[in-house]
Structure 1
Amino acid sequence: MDPRPPDETPGPGQQPKPPFDRERFIFKTLAVVIGTQLLIYSLAAGVCGQRALVGRPVGQICPGTLEQLQGGFDSTLKLLLALLGGAALTRMAPPS
């Protein structure tokens, strides 16, 4: 008896499962992270702007929060650029 599992061949009408695409997964995850950061930043800016328009004191919370959110957004963009640059370099490298 053969101890190996039987080959899983797709049946009629079934497509073979494509291999896991690591780059696509990373870029989709980064897109979700960047979208979430933009949503949070927009919400915080909207709340601070609304408080300023109504005439309430903005205080120290709004400027500090917006600076902190902007720093996180900048670091995410730097990570995205680094990943794109690394992917471009691996595509340009001669095959080993």
Structure 2
Amino acid sequence: MSDQLPPAPSGAPHGGTPRGPQPPFDRERFVFKTLAVVICTQLLIYSLAAGVCGQRALAGRPVGQVCPGTLEKLQMGFDSTLNLLLALLGGAALTRVGRPPGS
């Protein structure tokens, strides 16, 4: 018995099985997935900041000017990202309305 692997079939990338043609790159899907990651990240940061500020307030420590200012800035950034998402969805809906049937 030999410990060698059998040779890879010709035409198969990286020694795997041959694949069919790749689907074309979908820009809209890429943009929406990227925006979903950005929105989830912003929501995570906002939740973390709100949790830290809430924990400080419950512990009786002075919250000061940092927490309210930070939460306002994070909320403004989150709102602008949601506005961008709505604009992209509206633009995508307008381009679909203008297309002739069957495209």
Please give the range of the TM-score, normalised by the shorter of the 2 chains.
Answer: 0.7 to 0.9
State the percentage of identical aligned residues: 80
1:44, 1:94 → 2: CA distance? 45
1:12-70 deviations in Å (ceiling 9; x for gaps):
85221010000000000000000000000000000000000000000000000000000
2:33, 2:47 → 1: CA distance? 21
User: In the TM superposition, what are the counterparts of 1:59-78 in structure 2 within 5 Å?
Assistant: 59-78=64-83
Output the TM-score relative to the length of structure 1.
0.84
- The structure with higher relative contact order (CA 8 Å, sep 6+) is 1
RMSD: 1.5
The partner residue of 2:93 within 78, 88, 95 is 88
Unpaired stretches in structure 2, ≥5 consecutive residues: 1-10
Unpaired stretches in structure 1, ≥5 consecutive residues: 1-9
Larger Rg: 1 or 2?
Answer: 2
Aligned residue pair count: 86
